[in-house]
Amino acid sequence: MAMYVGFGLLGYIEYGPSPALTLFSGLAVLLLAPEFFQPLRTLSQHYHDRAAALGAAESVVNILNQATLVSKQRSLTPLSHRSAIELAAVCVTYPGRGQVIGPINLTIQRGEVVVLSGASGSGKSTLLALLAGFIAPSAGEYSRQEDSHFAWLDQQPSLAWQFDR
């Protein structure tokens, strides 16, 4: 729009009201254009937010429908009072892929910050999903304090919550 107003004021192009366009009216048009298009920008923003929410909801539904991966059994009383999470000889097996990690023995104390590193494909994401309770161990014992809280920022962040049944 600024190019049309500018070229119209310079006399390089003629369109609609360009012969009658003055510097004042051209400036007024340029200053009012963002306000004129604001409802359209707002609609566009809400449309994209809705599309992102629908995509996230579809991902959540897919995760919730994978009943074989959802953790069903978990002891909520670790052996030590200072422990937040304890794993004893835990293995994780995926259908069709076999055992991907384990056996693992791990104790995470309350207030402890843990960094997990390793080569690509070594099972870091699977271990984190196990600790978060998204998947159940196929062997071994997993226990977690009922009131323990932890944070996890995945490579592909998504919404997660816990249902108490």
Give whole-number Cα distances, 116 to 49, 122, 123, 140, 154, in Å: 33, 11, 10, 20, 12
Q: Count the residues in the chain.
A: 165
Instruction: Indicate whether 74 belongs to any domain.
Output: no
Q: What amino acid occupies position 39?
A: P
Per-residue pLDDT of the chain (165 residues; tens, 9 = 90+): 888 888 888 888 887 777 778 888 888 888 988 899 999 999 999 999 999 999 888 888 876 776 555 555 555 455 566 778 888 999 998 888 888 898 999 988 888 888 888 888 888 888 888 888 778 888 888 887 776 666 666 666 655 555 555
Q: Is there a single domain that holds both residue 13 and residue 60?
A: yes
Same domain, 138 and 87: yes
Identify whether the C-beta of residue 84 lies closer than 8 Å to the C-beta of residue 108: yes
Is the bond preceding 34 in cis, omega lying within 30 degrees of 0?
Answer: no
- Phi, psi dihedrals of residue 65, rounded to the nearest 5°: -80, -10
Does 57 lie in the same domain as 16? Answer: yes
Residue 149 CA, distance from chain mean position = 19
Give the number of domains in the chain: 2
Domain assignment of residue 6, yes or no: yes
Q: Which domain holds residue 59?
A: 2-64
* 7 and 60 co-located in one domain: yes
What is the pTM assigned to this prediction?
0.50
